[in-house]
Copies of this chain bind each other. A is one copy, B any other.
Amino acid sequence: MTDVFLDSCRNIIGGRHVLTAAADKAPYLTDWRGRFTGKARAVLRPANTAEVARLVQACAEHRVPLVPQGGKTGLVLGSVPDDSGLEVILSLGRLNRISDIDTGNRTMLVQAGCVLQQIQQAAAAEGMLFPLSLAAEGSCTIGGNLSTNAGGTAVLRYGNARELCLGLEVVTAQGEIWNGLRGLRKDNTGYDLRDLFIGAEGTLGVITAAVLKLYPMPRASITALLALDNPWQALSLLSLMQDHVGASLTAFELMSDFCLRLVAHHFPQLPKPFATAHPQYVLLEVSSAESEQHAVALLEMAIADAIERGHADDAVVATSMAQSAGLWQIREHISLAQSAAGKNIKHDISLPISNIPEFIEKTDDDLLEAFPGCQVVCFGHVGDGNLHYNVAPADGASHDAFLAHQPAINRIVHDNAHAFGGSISAEHGIGALKRGELSRYKSPVELNMMRAIKTALDPLGIMNPGKIL
C-alpha cells in the first residue's frame, strides 16, 4: 500500500530513518515512568535542521500531527504520542553535535539532541561550568530541557534552563527555520520569541539548536547538613545564609525527618549525620571562586551565626569536598528510597518561599484528616520555592489501593498550592498529564492568550497536539 506522506519522509531522510515496524517503534512509545504507552504512525529520525524543516513541511502538507522527542525522560507525558496512531514521533537524537565552545563569550552552540551530561562534560573540558543539573542528566537532551524549561539542583544560583539559554534555532510549524542562535546577553530588538519557545513543550515549534551560557567553574563547593525544629526556621536560616554568603549559596534543600528515616532504612550504608532525630533538615552548599579553604571558612562562620541566633539547632559541616559528596547522597537517595518503599503520589509544586511553612502545615493536616495515617514525603529546593510533596499510604496499607485516591489527593495539594500563590508545576511542565489541572487553575484571560498564540504560530494544530492546551 502506498503511503504518500511516509514516502515523502523517506525521500527526505532515507528509508532506514523512517521507523514503522512495531519493534522499531516500541522504544519511543512508553513514557519514562512506564505509566502510558501511545501509538505512532512512524518514528522519524532526521540528521539535521534542514531535514527537520522538510519533515515538518511534509507534516503540514499532509496534516500529520507530530510529537518532538528528545531523551524521553519527562514526567508529564509531554514527549510520547497519544493512542490514536495518527501522530508521528520526530526524534531529535541524531542532532547531537556540539559545534562551538566560545570561552571568550562564555557560550556554547549545541544541537537539540545533545545529552545534558555530554554538554556538561564538554564545558568542563574547557574549564567552564554548564550549571543545569538534574537526575536524568545521563539521558535527557538539551532540546527537551529547554522545551520544558527544566529546573534541577542549581536553580538557586544559576536559574532554570530558560536563564541558561541565550539563543535558539527553531523549526516553525510551517517548516521554516528560524535562526535565533544569538550569543548576546543584551538584545532588545522585538518580541522575546526565545522565551516563548522555551517551556512550550514542542507545541509551537521544534527547538533544533541553542546557544547556552557557560560560567566559571567554582574552585570549591562545601556542604553542611543542619538540624531544624520546623520549616519556619528554614526561612530565617535561608535569609541569614543569603545575607552572609550572597551568590556563594548554591543549594538550599529542605528534607523532613521522615525522608531521612526512609533513606536510612533502605540505604543503611549511607552516613547518618545526627545521633538523634530532628523534625526537619536543611542541606546547604556554599561554593567559592577562591578556594576550598575560603568555602569552608565562609560556611562555618555563617553556620555559627545561624546556631547562635536560633535559626538551626545543630549542624554537621563537611570539611572537604569528599565529605560534601556524602551529605548530598542522602538528599539524592530520597526518591530512590521512596521507590523502594512502594508507589506514591508525586507533586511538583512551587510557592512563594515565605508561604512554604504554612503550606506544609495546612496540607499535612488536610491530608491526614482525609486519609488518616498517610505519609508525606516532603523535600525540595526550598531556596527556589520548589517542593516535591509526595504522599504514600499508611504503614502496611496497599499502595495500589492508595493510588486510586490520586485525584482527591491532587485536589488537596494543588488547591492549597494555588491558594498560597503557588504553581502546580514547578519544573516538570504540563504535558498531557496535567492539562486538565492547568485549565482548572489558570484564568480564562491567560488561557485565551495562550490559545491565541498557539493558533497564530501553529494554525494547523500539528505541533504536539493535546499537550499543555
A residues near B, CB below 8 A?
102-107, 148-149, 151, 155, 157, 159-160, 162-163, 172, 176-180, 182-193, 195-196, 198-200, 204, 215-216, 218, 235, 239, 242-248, 287-290, 298, 350-355, 381, 384-386, 421-430, 434, 438, 441-443, 445-446, 449-450, 452-457, 468-469
Nearest-neighbor residue (CB-CB) of A161 within chain B? B188
Query: Quick one: which of B176, B177, B179, B450 contacts A190, CB cutoff 8 A?
Result: B450
Contact call A354/B184, Cβ cutoff below 8 A: no
Chain B residues in 8 Å Cβ range of A246: 215-216, 218, 247, 287-289
Given contacts A162-B192, A172-B445, A452-B457, A350 and B186 within 8 Å (CB-CB): yes
Quick check: A244 and B289 within 8 Å, CB to CB? Answer: yes
Establish whether residues B239 and A104, one from each chain, have CB atoms under 8 Å apart when the complex forms: yes
Q: Which residues of B contact A457 (CB under 8 A)?
A: 449, 452-453
With CB as the reference atom, state the residue of chain B lying closest to A181: B421
Instruction: Identify 19 new A-B residue pairs, CB closer than 8 A, beyond the known A190-B469, A247-B248.
Output: A148-B188, A157-B247, A178-B443, A178-B446, A186-B381, A188-B426, A188-B428, A189-B430, A190-B442, A190-B468, A192-B192, A192-B195, A192-B200, A195-B195, A216-B242, A218-B246, A245-B290, A247-B289, A449-B457
Q: Tell me the number of copies of this protein.
A: 2
Known contacts A187-B350, A199-B188, A243-B289; A456 and B450 CB within 8 A of each other: no
Q: Are A186 and B353 in contact (CB under 8 A)?
A: no
**Bound Cα distance from A151 to B184, whole angstroms:** 13
Alpha-carbon separation in the docked complex, A180 to B446 (Å): 8
Contact A183 B424 (CB under 8 A): no
Q: Is the CB of B185 within 8 A of A430?
A: no
Could you pull out 14 A-B pairs where Cβ atoms are within 8 angstroms?
A105-B354, A162-B192, A163-B163, A172-B449, A176-B445, A184-B422, A186-B381, A188-B425, A190-B199, A191-B454, A192-B200, A244-B289, A244-B290, A247-B248
Complex CA gap A179/B239 in Å reads 28
A247–B131 Cα distance when bound, in Å, is 14
Residue of B nearest to A298 (CB): B290
* Given A289-B248, A354-B105, A216:B243 Cβ within 8 A: yes
Q: By the criterion CB–CB under 8 Å, are A352 and B243 in contact?
A: no
Are B423 and A353 closer than 8 Å at their CB atoms? no
> Could you say which residues of chain B place their CB within 8 Å of the CB of A188?
148-149, 151, 199, 423, 425-430
In contact, A445 and B192 (Cβ under 8 angstroms): no
Residue contact A385 to B186, C-beta cutoff 8 Å: yes
Checking B184, B443, B446 against A351 with a beta-carbon cut-off of 8 angstroms, the contacting residue is B184
Are A192 and B196 interface neighbours, CB within 8 A?
yes
Nearest neighbor of A166 in chain B, beta-carbon distance: B352
Complex Cα–Cα for A192 and B468 (A): 12
CA gap between A200 and B449 in the complex, in Å: 15
- Asked if residues B160 and A384 are in contact (CB atoms below 8 Å), the reply is no
List residues of chain B with CB within 8 A of the CB of A424: 189
Cβ of A191 and Cβ of B450 under 8 Å apart?
A: yes
Which B residues are CB-close (under 8 A) to A454? 191
Partner of A421, one of B182, B189, B452, B453: B182
Interchain CA distance A426-B184 in the complex, whole Å: 9
Contact between B353 and A105, CB atoms less than 8 A apart: yes
A289–B438 CB distance below 8 A: no
Pairwise interchain contact B151-A186, C-beta atoms closer than 8 A: yes
* A350: chain B residues within 8 A (beta carbon): 184-187
Cβ of A429: which chain B residues have Cβ within 8 Å of it?
A: 188
Inter-subunit contact B193/A449 (CB<8 Å): yes
CB proximity of A394 to chain B, nearest CB, Å: 31
A166 to B136, CA, bound (A): 27
Q: Is the CB of A352 within 8 A of B183?
A: yes
CB-based contact B195/A384 at 8 Å: no
A415 to chain B, nearest CB (A): 15
Q: Which 3 A-B pairs have the closest CB atoms?
A: A104-B354, A246-B289, A456-B456
CB distance from A131 to the nearest CB of B (A): 12
Contact B239 A103 (CB under 8 A): yes
CB distance from A135 to the nearest CB of B (A): 16
Q: Which of chain B's residues have a CB closer than 8 A to the CB of A193?
A: 446, 449-450
Whether B446 lies near A185 (C-beta < 8 A) is: no
Question: Shortest beta-carbon distance, A284 to chain B, in Å?
Answer: 15
